[in-house]
Amino acid sequence: MSRKAWATRLLLWVALVPILVTAVGRRDVPPACNDHSFVNVLPPNVSVEKVVFVESGNTYGEGLRNLNYPIQPTNLPDLCAVTIFVKFSSASAYRFGLFLPVDWNNRILTYGNGGFGGGINWLDMGAGVKYGFAAISTDTGHNSTSGDISWALNNPETKTDWGWRSIHGSVEIGKKVVEAYYKKKIDYSYYSGCSTGGRQGLKEVQISPESFDGVLVGSAAWYTSHLNTWVSKVGTYNLPLTAPNHINASLFPAMAKEVVRQCDRLDGVEDGIISAPDACTPDYTVMACNRPGVNQSACLTAAQIATTAKAYGDYRAADGALLYPGLSPGCEDQWALVLGQNMTSLYGLNYARYFLYDDPGWQWQDYNDSAPAYAARTDPGRATADDYDLAPFRDRGGKMIMYHGLADGLLPAKGSDLYWERVVAATGGGNATATQQFFRYFTVPGMGHCGGTAVDAPWNFAAPFQAGTLGNDSWSVPGYRDARHDVLLALMGWVENGTAVDAVVATTWDASANASTPVRRQRPLCPYPATARWDGEGEVNAAESWRCEGHASTGPEVPKSVAAKSVGYSWATAGALGSMALSAVL
Protein backbone atom coordinates (compact mmCIF):
# COMPACT_ATOMS: atom_id res chain seq x y z
CA MET A 1 0.00 0.00 0.00
CA SER A 2 1.37 3.45 -0.92
CA ARG A 3 2.24 6.01 1.75
CA LYS A 4 -0.54 8.25 0.40
CA ALA A 5 -3.08 5.45 0.74
CA TRP A 6 -1.87 4.71 4.27
CA ALA A 7 -2.15 8.40 5.19
CA THR A 8 -5.69 8.63 3.80
CA ARG A 9 -6.71 5.48 5.66
CA LEU A 10 -5.19 6.77 8.90
CA LEU A 11 -6.95 10.14 8.75
CA LEU A 12 -10.31 8.55 8.02
CA TRP A 13 -9.82 5.99 10.77
CA VAL A 14 -8.83 8.59 13.36
CA ALA A 15 -11.82 10.73 12.44
CA LEU A 16 -14.29 7.89 12.76
CA VAL A 17 -12.98 5.89 15.70
CA PRO A 18 -12.63 7.21 19.27
CA ILE A 19 -9.15 6.91 20.70
CA LEU A 20 -10.30 5.17 23.84
CA VAL A 21 -13.27 2.81 23.96
CA THR A 22 -14.64 1.46 27.22
CA ALA A 23 -17.30 -1.04 28.08
CA VAL A 24 -20.94 -0.11 27.71
CA GLY A 25 -22.55 -3.04 29.41
CA ARG A 26 -22.45 -6.16 27.27
CA ARG A 27 -19.98 -7.81 29.63
CA ASP A 28 -19.22 -7.11 33.25
CA VAL A 29 -15.94 -5.36 33.95
CA PRO A 30 -13.57 -7.78 35.71
CA PRO A 31 -13.26 -6.80 39.39
CA ALA A 32 -9.47 -6.58 39.10
CA CYS A 33 -9.58 -4.03 36.24
CA ASN A 34 -8.90 -0.99 38.43
CA ASP A 35 -5.97 0.95 39.90
CA HIS A 36 -6.20 -0.67 43.32
CA SER A 37 -5.38 -4.15 42.03
CA PHE A 38 -1.74 -3.19 41.43
CA VAL A 39 -0.87 -0.85 44.30
CA ASN A 40 0.70 -3.50 46.50
CA VAL A 41 2.95 -4.96 43.80
CA LEU A 42 4.41 -1.73 42.39
CA PRO A 43 7.70 -0.24 43.68
CA PRO A 44 7.61 3.30 45.12
CA ASN A 45 8.81 4.89 41.88
CA VAL A 46 6.10 3.19 39.81
CA SER A 47 2.48 4.28 39.43
CA VAL A 48 -0.63 3.36 37.49
CA GLU A 49 -1.33 5.95 34.82
CA LYS A 50 -4.53 4.50 33.40
CA VAL A 51 -6.77 1.44 33.59
CA VAL A 52 -9.53 0.95 31.01
CA PHE A 53 -11.78 -2.01 30.28
CA VAL A 54 -12.08 -2.60 26.53
CA GLU A 55 -15.09 -4.58 25.37
CA SER A 56 -14.91 -7.18 22.62
CA GLY A 57 -14.89 -5.72 19.12
CA ASN A 58 -13.52 -2.32 20.14
CA THR A 59 -10.18 -0.55 19.84
CA TYR A 60 -7.53 0.89 22.13
CA GLY A 61 -4.45 3.05 21.79
CA GLU A 62 -3.29 6.65 21.90
CA GLY A 63 -3.96 7.62 18.30
CA LEU A 64 -1.94 10.43 16.77
CA ARG A 65 -0.49 11.33 20.16
CA ASN A 66 1.61 8.17 19.84
CA LEU A 67 4.06 9.38 17.20
CA ASN A 68 5.63 6.03 16.36
CA TYR A 69 2.46 3.90 16.58
CA PRO A 70 -0.51 6.12 15.62
CA ILE A 71 -2.58 3.24 14.23
CA GLN A 72 -4.58 1.40 16.87
CA PRO A 73 -5.54 -2.28 16.88
CA THR A 74 -9.23 -2.96 16.29
CA ASN A 75 -11.64 -5.82 16.93
CA LEU A 76 -9.97 -6.56 20.26
CA PRO A 77 -11.23 -9.27 22.62
CA ASP A 78 -12.53 -8.34 26.08
CA LEU A 79 -9.52 -7.05 27.97
CA CYS A 80 -8.20 -4.72 30.63
CA ALA A 81 -5.79 -2.12 29.23
CA VAL A 82 -3.26 -0.81 31.75
CA THR A 83 -0.60 1.88 31.40
CA ILE A 84 2.21 1.98 33.97
CA PHE A 85 4.52 4.95 34.60
CA VAL A 86 8.06 4.35 35.87
CA LYS A 87 10.07 7.28 37.22
CA PHE A 88 13.72 6.28 37.35
CA SER A 89 15.34 9.65 38.01
CA SER A 90 14.80 13.36 37.46
CA ALA A 91 16.05 12.86 33.90
CA SER A 92 14.52 9.47 33.16
CA ALA A 93 11.05 8.00 32.99
CA TYR A 94 9.30 5.47 30.80
CA ARG A 95 5.85 4.01 30.34
CA PHE A 96 4.63 0.60 29.33
CA GLY A 97 1.26 -0.76 28.40
CA LEU A 98 -0.42 -4.09 29.06
CA PHE A 99 -3.36 -5.85 27.45
CA LEU A 100 -4.83 -8.30 29.98
CA PRO A 101 -7.41 -10.45 28.19
CA VAL A 102 -10.41 -11.94 29.96
CA ASP A 103 -9.66 -15.24 28.24
CA TRP A 104 -6.01 -15.62 29.20
CA ASN A 105 -3.73 -18.45 28.05
CA ASN A 106 -1.48 -18.20 31.17
CA ARG A 107 1.35 -16.73 29.10
CA ILE A 108 2.91 -13.31 28.67
CA LEU A 109 4.27 -11.84 25.42
CA THR A 110 6.51 -8.76 25.32
CA TYR A 111 6.75 -6.84 22.05
CA GLY A 112 9.69 -4.75 20.90
CA ASN A 113 9.86 -1.36 19.21
CA GLY A 114 11.18 0.14 15.98
CA GLY A 115 14.13 2.42 15.23
CA PHE A 116 14.82 5.16 17.74
CA GLY A 117 11.11 5.89 18.01
CA GLY A 118 9.25 6.14 21.27
CA GLY A 119 5.74 4.96 21.91
CA ILE A 120 3.90 1.91 23.20
CA ASN A 121 3.45 -0.62 20.40
CA TRP A 122 -0.30 -1.13 20.88
CA LEU A 123 -0.72 -2.45 17.33
CA ASP A 124 1.48 -5.51 17.80
CA MET A 125 -0.01 -5.99 21.27
CA GLY A 126 -3.42 -6.16 19.60
CA ALA A 127 -2.23 -9.09 17.51
CA GLY A 128 -0.70 -10.85 20.52
CA VAL A 129 -3.74 -10.56 22.76
CA LYS A 130 -5.84 -12.39 20.14
CA TYR A 131 -3.78 -15.52 20.81
CA GLY A 132 -4.72 -15.16 24.47
CA PHE A 133 -1.41 -13.66 25.67
CA ALA A 134 -1.12 -10.93 28.24
CA ALA A 135 0.77 -8.49 26.00
CA ILE A 136 3.35 -5.85 27.01
CA SER A 137 5.18 -3.03 25.23
CA THR A 138 7.23 -0.07 26.45
CA ASP A 139 7.50 3.44 25.01
CA THR A 140 11.33 3.21 25.49
CA GLY A 141 11.24 6.37 27.61
CA HIS A 142 10.14 8.99 25.10
CA ASN A 143 7.65 9.85 22.35
CA SER A 144 9.09 10.32 18.87
CA THR A 145 9.08 9.02 15.33
CA SER A 146 11.60 6.39 14.30
CA GLY A 147 14.40 8.65 13.02
CA ASP A 148 13.97 11.44 15.57
CA ILE A 149 16.73 11.06 18.16
CA SER A 150 16.81 14.62 19.50
CA TRP A 151 15.43 13.35 22.81
CA ALA A 152 18.83 11.77 23.54
CA LEU A 153 20.89 14.97 23.34
CA ASN A 154 23.15 15.29 26.40
CA ASN A 155 20.98 12.87 28.36
CA PRO A 156 22.71 9.59 29.17
CA GLU A 157 19.70 8.48 31.22
CA THR A 158 17.25 8.56 28.29
CA LYS A 159 19.85 6.77 26.17
CA THR A 160 19.98 4.03 28.78
CA ASP A 161 16.19 3.80 28.84
CA TRP A 162 16.19 3.20 25.08
CA GLY A 163 19.27 1.00 25.24
CA TRP A 164 17.96 -1.60 27.69
CA ARG A 165 16.37 -0.26 30.88
CA SER A 166 12.80 0.33 29.64
CA ILE A 167 12.45 -3.19 28.23
CA HIS A 168 14.05 -4.80 31.25
CA GLY A 169 11.95 -2.86 33.74
CA SER A 170 8.75 -3.38 31.77
CA VAL A 171 9.26 -7.14 31.76
CA GLU A 172 10.21 -7.27 35.42
CA ILE A 173 7.37 -5.07 36.66
CA GLY A 174 4.94 -6.30 34.03
CA LYS A 175 5.16 -9.86 35.26
CA LYS A 176 4.21 -8.72 38.76
CA VAL A 177 1.26 -6.76 37.38
CA VAL A 178 0.03 -9.75 35.36
CA GLU A 179 0.25 -12.15 38.27
CA ALA A 180 -1.46 -9.70 40.60
CA TYR A 181 -4.29 -9.22 38.11
CA TYR A 182 -4.94 -12.91 37.47
CA LYS A 183 -3.87 -14.05 40.96
CA LYS A 184 -1.83 -16.88 39.50
CA LYS A 185 1.66 -17.56 38.22
CA ILE A 186 2.63 -17.08 34.58
CA ASP A 187 3.33 -20.39 32.86
CA TYR A 188 5.59 -19.09 30.07
CA SER A 189 7.15 -15.78 29.02
CA TYR A 190 7.77 -14.94 25.34
CA TYR A 191 9.29 -12.09 23.34
CA SER A 192 8.70 -10.86 19.79
CA GLY A 193 10.55 -7.99 18.10
CA CYS A 194 12.13 -6.92 14.81
CA SER A 195 14.85 -4.40 13.92
CA THR A 196 15.37 -2.36 17.11
CA GLY A 197 12.90 -4.84 18.60
CA GLY A 198 15.29 -7.62 17.62
CA ARG A 199 18.13 -5.81 19.37
CA GLN A 200 16.00 -5.29 22.47
CA GLY A 201 15.22 -9.00 22.67
CA LEU A 202 18.84 -10.06 22.28
CA LYS A 203 19.99 -7.48 24.82
CA GLU A 204 17.45 -8.64 27.40
CA VAL A 205 18.47 -12.29 26.92
CA GLN A 206 22.09 -11.28 27.46
CA ILE A 207 21.56 -9.26 30.64
CA SER A 208 18.63 -11.24 32.07
CA PRO A 209 18.50 -14.85 30.80
CA GLU A 210 15.49 -15.61 33.00
CA SER A 211 13.22 -12.96 31.43
CA PHE A 212 11.95 -15.15 28.58
CA ASP A 213 11.38 -18.81 27.84
CA GLY A 214 11.04 -18.23 24.12
CA VAL A 215 12.44 -15.40 22.00
CA LEU A 216 11.58 -14.39 18.42
CA VAL A 217 13.90 -11.76 16.94
CA GLY A 218 14.08 -10.49 13.37
CA SER A 219 16.44 -8.29 11.35
CA ALA A 220 18.09 -7.41 14.65
CA ALA A 221 19.88 -4.06 14.90
CA TRP A 222 22.06 -5.68 17.55
CA TYR A 223 25.41 -4.07 16.69
CA THR A 224 24.40 -0.49 17.59
CA SER A 225 27.93 0.89 17.64
CA HIS A 226 28.87 -0.53 14.24
CA LEU A 227 25.54 -0.66 12.43
CA ASN A 228 24.66 3.00 12.85
CA THR A 229 28.15 4.13 11.91
CA TRP A 230 27.97 1.85 8.85
CA VAL A 231 24.69 3.56 7.94
CA SER A 232 26.58 6.85 7.81
CA LYS A 233 29.53 5.36 5.97
CA VAL A 234 27.49 3.66 3.25
CA GLY A 235 25.50 6.85 2.78
CA THR A 236 28.66 8.80 1.99
CA TYR A 237 29.35 6.46 -0.94
CA ASN A 238 26.42 8.03 -2.80
CA LEU A 239 27.15 11.67 -1.97
CA PRO A 240 27.30 14.49 -2.67
CA LEU A 241 24.23 14.82 -4.84
CA THR A 242 26.08 16.51 -7.70
CA ALA A 243 29.08 14.15 -7.77
CA PRO A 244 29.61 11.72 -10.69
CA ASN A 245 29.46 8.75 -8.30
CA HIS A 246 25.90 9.61 -7.18
CA ILE A 247 23.13 7.17 -8.21
CA ASN A 248 19.70 8.75 -8.35
CA ALA A 249 17.04 6.71 -6.55
CA SER A 250 15.03 6.56 -9.77
CA LEU A 251 17.61 4.05 -11.06
CA PHE A 252 17.22 1.60 -8.17
CA PRO A 253 14.19 -0.26 -9.66
CA ALA A 254 16.04 -0.89 -12.94
CA MET A 255 19.09 -2.07 -11.01
CA ALA A 256 16.92 -4.38 -8.91
CA LYS A 257 15.41 -5.89 -12.03
CA GLU A 258 18.85 -6.50 -13.54
CA VAL A 259 20.15 -8.14 -10.35
CA VAL A 260 17.16 -10.51 -10.33
CA ARG A 261 17.93 -11.38 -13.96
CA GLN A 262 21.52 -12.25 -13.06
CA CYS A 263 21.08 -13.86 -9.64
CA ASP A 264 17.65 -15.50 -9.62
CA ARG A 265 18.56 -18.80 -11.26
CA LEU A 266 21.47 -19.57 -8.93
CA ASP A 267 19.18 -21.42 -6.49
CA GLY A 268 18.05 -23.80 -9.24
CA VAL A 269 14.72 -22.23 -10.17
CA GLU A 270 13.77 -19.03 -11.99
CA ASP A 271 10.94 -17.57 -9.96
CA GLY A 272 11.90 -13.90 -9.64
CA ILE A 273 13.27 -14.45 -6.12
CA ILE A 274 16.95 -14.33 -5.21
CA SER A 275 17.42 -17.14 -2.72
CA ALA A 276 21.24 -17.41 -2.91
CA PRO A 277 22.51 -13.80 -2.82
CA ASP A 278 25.94 -14.78 -1.53
CA ALA A 279 26.51 -16.80 -4.71
CA CYS A 280 26.09 -13.74 -6.93
CA THR A 281 28.22 -10.72 -7.73
CA PRO A 282 26.11 -8.36 -9.83
CA ASP A 283 27.75 -7.18 -13.05
CA TYR A 284 26.46 -3.68 -13.71
CA THR A 285 28.64 -3.20 -16.78
CA VAL A 286 25.67 -4.58 -18.72
CA MET A 287 23.91 -1.32 -17.77
CA ALA A 288 26.91 0.87 -18.62
CA CYS A 289 25.95 4.05 -20.44
CA ASN A 290 28.73 3.53 -23.01
CA ARG A 291 27.44 0.08 -23.92
CA PRO A 292 25.79 -0.05 -27.37
CA GLY A 293 22.03 -0.34 -27.24
CA VAL A 294 21.69 0.42 -23.54
CA ASN A 295 18.66 2.44 -22.42
CA GLN A 296 20.20 5.84 -21.75
CA SER A 297 17.46 6.73 -19.26
CA ALA A 298 18.38 3.74 -17.07
CA CYS A 299 22.13 3.37 -17.39
CA LEU A 300 25.12 3.69 -15.06
CA THR A 301 28.41 5.48 -15.49
CA ALA A 302 31.71 3.93 -14.45
CA ALA A 303 31.70 6.08 -11.29
CA GLN A 304 28.20 4.92 -10.39
CA ILE A 305 29.14 1.28 -10.94
CA ALA A 306 32.03 1.81 -8.52
CA THR A 307 29.50 3.08 -5.96
CA THR A 308 27.53 -0.18 -6.20
CA ALA A 309 30.66 -2.19 -5.45
CA LYS A 310 31.23 -0.16 -2.29
CA ALA A 311 27.64 -0.67 -1.15
CA TYR A 312 27.92 -4.45 -1.49
CA GLY A 313 31.39 -4.50 0.05
CA ASP A 314 32.14 -5.04 3.73
CA TYR A 315 33.12 -2.03 5.81
CA ARG A 316 36.61 -2.74 7.14
CA ALA A 317 39.14 -0.95 9.31
CA ALA A 318 42.54 0.08 8.00
CA ASP A 319 44.01 -3.17 9.34
CA GLY A 320 41.38 -5.23 7.52
CA ALA A 321 39.22 -5.99 10.55
CA LEU A 322 35.52 -6.31 9.76
CA LEU A 323 33.49 -3.37 11.04
CA TYR A 324 30.15 -4.28 9.44
CA PRO A 325 29.10 -6.38 6.45
CA GLY A 326 27.70 -4.80 3.30
CA LEU A 327 24.39 -5.13 1.50
CA SER A 328 23.38 -8.31 -0.30
CA PRO A 329 22.30 -8.56 -3.95
CA GLY A 330 18.52 -8.47 -4.15
CA CYS A 331 17.80 -5.56 -1.80
CA GLU A 332 18.17 -2.76 -4.36
CA ASP A 333 14.48 -1.87 -4.14
CA GLN A 334 15.21 -0.65 -0.59
CA TRP A 335 18.52 1.08 -1.28
CA ALA A 336 16.91 4.49 -0.80
CA LEU A 337 16.80 3.69 2.93
CA VAL A 338 20.58 4.05 3.22
CA LEU A 339 21.89 5.44 -0.09
CA GLY A 340 20.54 8.93 0.40
CA GLN A 341 19.98 11.68 -2.09
CA ASN A 342 20.83 14.89 -0.22
CA MET A 343 22.33 13.46 2.98
CA THR A 344 22.92 10.19 4.76
CA SER A 345 20.10 8.29 6.44
CA LEU A 346 18.72 9.84 9.61
CA TYR A 347 19.48 6.57 11.42
CA GLY A 348 23.16 7.29 10.97
CA LEU A 349 23.11 11.08 10.91
CA ASN A 350 20.98 11.56 14.02
CA TYR A 351 22.69 8.71 15.83
CA ALA A 352 25.95 10.63 15.46
CA ARG A 353 24.40 14.00 16.35
CA TYR A 354 22.31 13.10 19.37
CA PHE A 355 23.45 9.71 20.60
CA LEU A 356 27.15 9.43 19.94
CA TYR A 357 28.72 12.93 19.87
CA ASP A 358 25.97 15.11 21.45
CA ASP A 359 26.56 17.63 18.68
CA PRO A 360 23.43 18.80 16.79
CA GLY A 361 25.66 20.60 14.28
CA TRP A 362 27.40 17.41 13.14
CA GLN A 363 27.08 16.84 9.38
CA TRP A 364 27.56 13.77 7.25
CA GLN A 365 30.68 15.38 5.78
CA ASP A 366 32.21 15.15 9.29
CA TYR A 367 32.16 11.35 9.25
CA ASN A 368 35.50 9.54 9.53
CA ASP A 369 36.51 5.96 10.14
CA SER A 370 37.30 6.50 13.81
CA ALA A 371 33.54 6.49 14.53
CA PRO A 372 32.97 2.71 14.96
CA ALA A 373 35.81 2.35 17.48
CA TYR A 374 34.64 5.42 19.42
CA ALA A 375 31.03 4.16 19.41
CA ALA A 376 32.13 0.73 20.62
CA ARG A 377 34.28 2.22 23.36
CA THR A 378 31.62 4.59 24.69
CA ASP A 379 28.50 2.50 23.81
CA PRO A 380 25.93 5.18 24.76
CA GLY A 381 23.03 3.68 26.66
CA ARG A 382 24.75 0.28 26.70
CA ALA A 383 22.59 -0.47 23.68
CA THR A 384 24.89 -2.81 21.77
CA ALA A 385 23.86 -6.45 22.19
CA ASP A 386 27.21 -8.10 21.52
CA ASP A 387 27.49 -10.66 24.31
CA TYR A 388 27.60 -13.86 22.25
CA ASP A 389 27.74 -16.34 25.13
CA LEU A 390 24.10 -17.34 25.51
CA ALA A 391 24.85 -20.34 27.73
CA PRO A 392 22.89 -18.96 30.73
CA PHE A 393 19.78 -18.62 28.53
CA ARG A 394 20.35 -22.06 27.01
CA ASP A 395 21.01 -23.76 30.32
CA ARG A 396 17.71 -22.67 31.83
CA GLY A 397 15.88 -24.16 28.82
CA GLY A 398 15.39 -21.01 26.73
CA LYS A 399 14.72 -21.27 22.99
CA MET A 400 15.37 -18.60 20.38
CA ILE A 401 14.40 -18.12 16.74
CA MET A 402 16.11 -15.39 14.73
CA TYR A 403 15.30 -14.47 11.10
CA HIS A 404 16.30 -11.95 8.46
CA GLY A 405 14.91 -10.99 5.04
CA LEU A 406 17.50 -11.46 2.31
CA ALA A 407 16.10 -8.41 0.48
CA ASP A 408 16.53 -6.12 3.49
CA GLY A 409 18.00 -2.84 2.28
CA LEU A 410 18.27 -1.14 5.67
CA LEU A 411 19.97 -3.78 7.85
CA PRO A 412 22.26 -6.07 5.84
CA ALA A 413 21.23 -9.71 6.22
CA LYS A 414 24.88 -10.61 6.65
CA GLY A 415 24.75 -8.78 9.97
CA SER A 416 22.53 -11.56 11.30
CA ASP A 417 24.85 -14.14 9.75
CA LEU A 418 27.64 -12.53 11.76
CA TYR A 419 25.70 -12.69 15.03
CA TRP A 420 24.78 -16.33 14.45
CA GLU A 421 28.38 -17.28 13.68
CA ARG A 422 29.68 -15.53 16.80
CA VAL A 423 27.10 -17.25 19.02
CA VAL A 424 28.08 -20.61 17.50
CA ALA A 425 31.71 -19.86 18.37
CA ALA A 426 31.02 -18.54 21.88
CA THR A 427 28.19 -20.81 23.02
CA GLY A 428 28.38 -23.85 20.78
CA GLY A 429 32.14 -24.24 20.77
CA GLY A 430 32.09 -23.81 17.01
CA ASN A 431 29.47 -26.56 16.65
CA ALA A 432 26.43 -25.24 14.76
CA THR A 433 24.43 -28.41 15.45
CA ALA A 434 24.91 -27.97 19.18
CA THR A 435 23.81 -24.34 18.95
CA GLN A 436 20.69 -25.35 17.02
CA GLN A 437 19.49 -27.27 20.03
CA PHE A 438 18.34 -23.94 21.49
CA PHE A 439 18.91 -21.26 18.82
CA ARG A 440 17.88 -21.38 15.16
CA TYR A 441 18.33 -18.74 12.50
CA PHE A 442 16.16 -18.49 9.37
CA THR A 443 16.75 -16.45 6.24
CA VAL A 444 13.75 -15.25 4.20
CA PRO A 445 14.43 -14.94 0.45
CA GLY A 446 12.82 -11.89 -1.14
CA MET A 447 11.58 -10.33 2.10
CA GLY A 448 12.49 -6.72 2.86
CA HIS A 449 13.06 -5.15 6.25
CA CYS A 450 10.95 -7.07 8.79
CA GLY A 451 8.27 -7.88 6.21
CA GLY A 452 6.89 -7.15 2.77
CA THR A 453 8.27 -8.00 -0.63
CA ALA A 454 8.96 -6.30 -3.95
CA VAL A 455 9.21 -9.59 -5.87
CA ASP A 456 6.09 -11.51 -4.77
CA ALA A 457 8.14 -13.63 -2.37
CA PRO A 458 6.46 -15.45 0.55
CA TRP A 459 7.06 -13.14 3.50
CA ASN A 460 4.35 -13.54 6.12
CA PHE A 461 4.85 -16.06 8.92
CA ALA A 462 3.38 -14.16 11.90
CA ALA A 463 6.61 -12.40 12.79
CA PRO A 464 6.51 -9.03 14.62
CA PHE A 465 5.07 -6.05 12.69
CA GLN A 466 3.72 -8.40 10.00
CA ALA A 467 0.15 -8.52 11.30
CA GLY A 468 -0.01 -4.72 11.24
CA THR A 469 1.09 -4.71 7.62
CA LEU A 470 -2.05 -6.69 6.74
CA GLY A 471 -4.37 -4.46 8.76
CA ASN A 472 -5.06 -3.21 12.25
CA ASP A 473 -7.33 -6.15 13.08
CA SER A 474 -5.02 -8.89 11.76
CA TRP A 475 -3.17 -11.55 13.74
CA SER A 476 -1.22 -14.75 13.05
CA VAL A 477 -1.35 -15.76 9.34
CA PRO A 478 -4.93 -15.40 8.09
CA GLY A 479 -6.21 -18.79 6.98
CA TYR A 480 -3.15 -20.59 8.33
CA ARG A 481 -3.20 -20.20 12.11
CA ASP A 482 -1.13 -23.28 12.91
CA ALA A 483 2.42 -24.06 13.97
CA ARG A 484 3.45 -24.94 10.43
CA HIS A 485 2.82 -21.40 9.15
CA ASP A 486 2.97 -19.28 12.32
CA VAL A 487 6.47 -18.93 13.76
CA LEU A 488 5.18 -17.80 17.16
CA LEU A 489 3.11 -20.98 17.50
CA ALA A 490 6.12 -22.96 16.31
CA LEU A 491 8.29 -21.33 18.99
CA MET A 492 5.68 -22.19 21.61
CA GLY A 493 5.73 -25.81 20.48
CA TRP A 494 9.52 -25.86 20.81
CA VAL A 495 9.51 -24.29 24.28
CA GLU A 496 6.55 -26.18 25.73
CA ASN A 497 6.65 -29.52 23.92
CA GLY A 498 10.29 -29.87 22.82
CA THR A 499 9.37 -29.90 19.11
CA ALA A 500 12.30 -28.28 17.31
CA VAL A 501 11.44 -25.85 14.51
CA ASP A 502 12.83 -27.43 11.35
CA ALA A 503 10.87 -25.27 8.91
CA VAL A 504 8.21 -22.55 8.87
CA VAL A 505 6.06 -21.96 5.80
CA ALA A 506 5.90 -18.33 4.64
CA THR A 507 2.93 -17.00 2.68
CA THR A 508 2.19 -14.19 0.26
CA TRP A 509 -0.96 -13.25 -1.60
CA ASP A 510 -1.80 -11.92 -5.07
CA ALA A 511 -1.84 -8.49 -3.46
CA SER A 512 1.07 -9.13 -1.14
CA ALA A 513 -0.31 -7.09 1.78
CA ASN A 514 -3.95 -8.10 1.34
CA ALA A 515 -4.75 -11.50 2.81
CA SER A 516 -8.28 -11.40 1.38
CA THR A 517 -6.81 -11.97 -2.10
CA PRO A 518 -5.85 -15.51 -3.23
CA VAL A 519 -2.64 -17.08 -1.93
CA ARG A 520 0.06 -16.55 -4.54
CA ARG A 521 2.99 -18.49 -3.06
CA GLN A 522 3.99 -20.49 -0.03
CA ARG A 523 7.47 -21.74 0.70
CA PRO A 524 9.34 -23.24 3.67
CA LEU A 525 11.93 -21.18 5.49
CA CYS A 526 14.87 -23.26 6.63
CA PRO A 527 17.25 -23.01 9.61
CA TYR A 528 20.58 -21.56 8.52
CA PRO A 529 22.70 -22.75 6.80
CA ALA A 530 20.04 -24.99 5.22
CA THR A 531 18.18 -23.71 2.17
CA ALA A 532 14.88 -24.57 0.53
CA ARG A 533 15.23 -26.60 -2.69
CA TRP A 534 12.55 -27.17 -5.29
CA ASP A 535 11.92 -30.82 -6.11
CA GLY A 536 11.91 -30.04 -9.84
CA GLU A 537 8.48 -31.53 -10.42
CA GLY A 538 5.79 -30.07 -8.17
CA GLU A 539 3.99 -26.74 -8.38
CA VAL A 540 6.75 -24.21 -7.78
CA ASN A 541 4.47 -21.93 -5.74
CA ALA A 542 3.38 -24.71 -3.36
CA ALA A 543 5.28 -25.34 -0.12
CA GLU A 544 4.98 -29.10 -0.60
CA SER A 545 7.27 -28.88 -3.65
CA TRP A 546 10.18 -27.65 -1.55
CA ARG A 547 12.35 -29.19 1.13
CA CYS A 548 15.12 -27.95 3.41
CA GLU A 549 18.56 -29.26 2.52
CA GLY A 550 21.74 -29.00 4.51
CA HIS A 551 20.22 -29.39 7.99
CA ALA A 552 20.51 -32.62 9.96
CA SER A 553 17.40 -32.32 12.12
CA THR A 554 14.17 -33.73 10.71
CA GLY A 555 11.87 -33.64 13.74
CA PRO A 556 8.09 -33.75 13.31
CA GLU A 557 6.00 -30.61 13.03
CA VAL A 558 3.86 -29.57 16.00
CA PRO A 559 0.52 -31.43 15.85
CA LYS A 560 -2.43 -29.12 15.31
CA SER A 561 -4.03 -30.36 18.48
CA VAL A 562 -1.03 -29.22 20.51
CA ALA A 563 -0.91 -25.76 18.93
CA ALA A 564 -4.64 -25.30 19.31
CA LYS A 565 -4.49 -26.19 23.00
CA SER A 566 -1.61 -23.80 23.61
CA VAL A 567 -3.49 -20.72 22.42
CA GLY A 568 -6.95 -21.66 23.61
CA TYR A 569 -9.05 -21.74 20.45
CA SER A 570 -10.43 -24.57 18.37
CA TRP A 571 -9.28 -25.40 14.87
CA ALA A 572 -12.93 -25.64 13.81
CA THR A 573 -13.32 -21.91 14.40
CA ALA A 574 -9.77 -20.76 13.57
CA GLY A 575 -10.40 -20.57 9.83
CA ALA A 576 -13.39 -18.27 10.39
CA LEU A 577 -11.58 -15.75 12.61
CA GLY A 578 -11.01 -12.88 11.03
CA SER A 579 -0.78 -0.72 9.29
CA MET A 580 1.86 0.07 10.22
CA ALA A 581 3.97 2.71 8.38
CA LEU A 582 7.51 1.55 7.53
CA SER A 583 8.99 4.27 9.74
CA ALA A 584 7.65 2.56 12.84
CA VAL A 585 9.31 -0.72 11.88
CA LEU A 586 12.78 0.57 11.15
**Mean pLDDT over residues 135-144, rounded?**
98
Q: Which residues pair with 188 in a beta bridge?
A: 107
What does pTM read for this prediction?
0.90
The domain limits of the chain are: 1-186, 212-222+385-586, 226-363
Nearest to 543 by CA among 503, 490, 489, 488: 503
Nearest to 343 by CA among 202, 246, 272: 246
What SS3 class is residue 290? coil
Mean pLDDT of all residues belonging to the chain: 90
State yes or no: pLDDT of 237 exceeds 90: yes
Alpha helices in 473-537 (DSSP H): 487-497
Alpha helices in 208-268 (DSSP H): 224-236, 252-263
Report residue 313's pLDDT band, with 50, 70 and 90 as the boundaries. Answer: very high
Pairing of strands 439-444, 504-509: unpaired
The pLDDT, as a whole number, for residue 226 is 98
CA gap 521, 541 in Å, rounded: 5
The pLDDT, as a whole number, for residue 551 is 54
- What is the tens place of the pLDDT at every residue in 518-542? 999 999 999 999 999 999 999 999 9
The pLDDT, as a whole number, for residue 341 is 87
CA gap 128, 228 in Å, rounded: 30
- What is the tens place of the pLDDT at every residue in 424-437? 999 999 999 999 99
Q: Comparing 3-7, 251-255, 401-405, which segment has the lowest mean pLDDT?
A: 3-7
More confident residue, 540 or 11: 540
**Mean pLDDT over residues 230-235, rounded?**
98
The sign of the dihedral angle between the CA atoms of 17, 23, 26, 29 is positive
Separate counts of helices (H) and strands (E) for the chain: 18, 15
- What is the tens place of the pLDDT at every residue in 280-292? 999 999 999 999 9
The pLDDT, as a whole number, for residue 550 is 84
Element holding 507 (H helix, E strand):
strand 504-509
Report residue 5's pLDDT band, with 50, 70 and 90 as the boundaries. Answer: very low
**Mean pLDDT over residues 163-173, rounded?**
98
* CA angle at 316 for the pair 314 and 319, rounded to the nearest 5°: 145
Query: Which residues are designated catalytic?
Result: 195, 408, 449
- What is the tens place of the pLDDT at every residue in 16-48? 444 344 333 446 899 999 999 998 899 999 999
The pLDDT, as a whole number, for residue 495 is 98
User: Position 325: which residue type?
Assistant: P
What SS3 class is residue 448? coil
Rg (CA), the chain: 23
